[in-house]
Amino acid sequence: MRQGNATDAPLVDGLAVAPAAERPVSAVRLASVDAYRGLVMMLMASEGLGLGAVAAAHPDSGFWRFLAGQVEHVQWVGCSLWDLIQPSFSLLVGVSLPFSLASRRARGQGFGQMLRHALARSLALIVLGILLRSDGRRQTYFTFEDTLTQIGLGYAFLFLLAWTRPRVQALACAGLLFAYWLAFLLYPLPRPGFDYASVGVPPDWPHLTGMAAHWDKNTNAAAAFDVWFLNLFPREEPFAFNAGGYLTLSFIPTLGTMILGLLAGELLKSGRPESQKLRLLVGAGAAGIACGWLLGALGLCPVVKRIWTPSWTLFSGGWCFLILAAFRWTMDVRGRTRWAFPLVVAGMNSIAFYVIAHPFRPLIDRTLKTHLGQNVWERLGGPCSPILDHAAVLLCMWLIVWWMHRRRLFLRL
């Protein structure tokens, strides 16, 4: 925890309380970046505002079914709004890094000092992610699928790439994605008669076919790696599969997402005209969506968020570029920032918000119902009571980080 200037603040340094053109590059915090990050934090902490429960109470409503589908992960192939939370957060780490390095250089820090900080941050993110994913039982339990852990595993490499030219960064991203794609493609498919239940795949699972079968659930190269790797750690029972299909090695294509963010950050930090920056962001966004979709449509690499396929890196990265461009145009170019104040507050203290939203959320919920009544939301909202319940908890979490914001308290790693 640190009290200080906003330019020193949270996880990934990068906010502006004024349009970027009014401040030196080394001191700029882009309002668009913090607001976008804040939107991601608010979505994550909202737990979908209970829209799934509301949809279940209105089984004949297509409207509620659509909304509920956007706040939960797709089963395997495809994308929903909820699936864009993690790639957005990961990409914004890369976007903010050039501004963070410029700020540290301005304060007289050298490469060695910054490298030590990057390594310490990587370790802290990995450990924090493992702790937040703990199931709360006494025995040691290790998993590396949390967003923070995935970022931490790749952050040191991202830091080193930040000292290279954009062309090198782009080639590194392409090389990582190609190598990861090839590793899956070369891993042998299950033999006929394979017992899919032994790896947690239900009988009615929509198996992928053809080349795409190499990216099926829990029978792929990275799943085999986890069976070896995760059993190196103390466990109550041997690890056999991840119920959701999530993988430790997904940090490699996640690093590709962060590199895309690094390229975007270098663009935003450059002296190019704002109109050109926006055109490049929108163009790159459209190209990423098209390329990712085409790879999936041709059966070369399905678009799967849960295992972060290379096509998902491109597809989700494209959407993130478009969202970033929209925030950039609205806030940094047009200077319309007041509407986004709640998002900026959450984005400036993103790690604090992330931590509060995990272990403290049930405590806040219980406390509210203890003092307001166990059925308070049912009395006020009827069938839509889950929305009120989740919104009230979200407001309380936001008020905590707002209190920290007013006192210049930022949780830094």
Given a cut of 90, whether residue 9 has pLDDT beyond it is no
Residues 6+ apart with CB under 8 A from 37: 12, 88, 89, 92, 346, 347, 350
Instruction: Let me know: does 170 contact 133? Beta carbons within 8 Å.
Output: no
CA-atom Rg of the chain in angstroms: 22
Q: What is the pLDDT of residue 160?
A: 97
Instruction: Let me know: does 82 contact 48? Beta carbons within 8 Å.
Output: yes
Residue 192 vs residue 133, higher pLDDT: 192
Q: What is the DSSP letter of 308?
A: T
Average pLDDT over residues 199-210: 94
Q: How many other CB atoms sit within 10 Å of the CB of residue 182?
A: 12
Residue 362 vs residue 249, higher pLDDT: 249
Cα separation, 113 vs 408, in Å, equals 25
- At residue 307 the predicted structure's pLDDT band, cuts being 50, 70 and 90, is very high
Given a cut of 70, whether residue 13 has pLDDT beyond it is no
Given a cut of 50, whether residue 17 has pLDDT beyond it is no
The two three-digit tokens of residue 391, written as one number: 């919104």
Instruction: Give the Cα-Cα-Cα angle 148, 261, 38 (nearest 5 degrees).
Output: 60
Q: Which amino acid is at 410?
A: F
Average pLDDT over residues 26-44: 85
Average pLDDT over residues 260-279: 95
CA 38 to each of CA 35, 176, 272, 357: distance values in angstroms, whole numbers, following the listed order: 5, 29, 26, 13
Average pLDDT over residues 196-206: 95
| Number of structural domains in the chain | 1
Cα separation, 296 vs 246, in Å, equals 19
State the pTM of this model: 0.90
HSE-up (13 A, CA, CB side) for residue 324: 39
Average pLDDT over residues 195-219: 95
Cα separation, 214 vs 20, in Å, equals 45
Q: What is the DSSP letter of 349?
A: T
**Residue percentage of the chain with pLDDT more than 90:** 74
Q: What is the pLDDT of residue 135?
A: 53
Q: What is the pLDDT of residue 357?
A: 86
Q: What is the pLDDT of residue 237?
A: 87
Mean pLDDT, all residues of the chain: 89
Q: What is the DSSP letter of 3?
A: E
Cα separation, 31 vs 170, in Å, equals 26
Given a cut of 70, whether residue 191 has pLDDT beyond it is yes
Q: What is the DSSP letter of 59?
A: T
Q: What is the pLDDT of residue 301?
A: 97
Digit-coded pLDDT (tens) for 143-152: 899 999 999 9
Given a cut of 60, whether residue 26 has pLDDT beyond it is no
Q: Write out the residue range of the structural domain in which residue 300 sits.
A: 2-410
Average pLDDT over residues 300-323: 98
Q: What is the DSSP letter of 243?
A: T
- At residue 20 the predicted structure's pLDDT band, cuts being 50, 70 and 90, is very low
Digit-coded pLDDT (tens) for 69-101: 999 999 999 999 999 999 999 999 999 999 999
What DSSP letter does each residue of 8-42 carry, written as one string?
G-SSS----SS-GGGS-GGG---HHHHHHHHHHHH
Digit-coded pLDDT (tens) for 361-393: 889 989 998 888 888 888 887 888 899 999 999
Cα separation, 72 vs 51, in Å, equals 9
Given a cut of 50, whether residue 138 has pLDDT beyond it is no
Percentage helix, strand, coil, to 5, in the chain? 70, 0, 30
Cα separation, 181 vs 259, in Å, equals 17
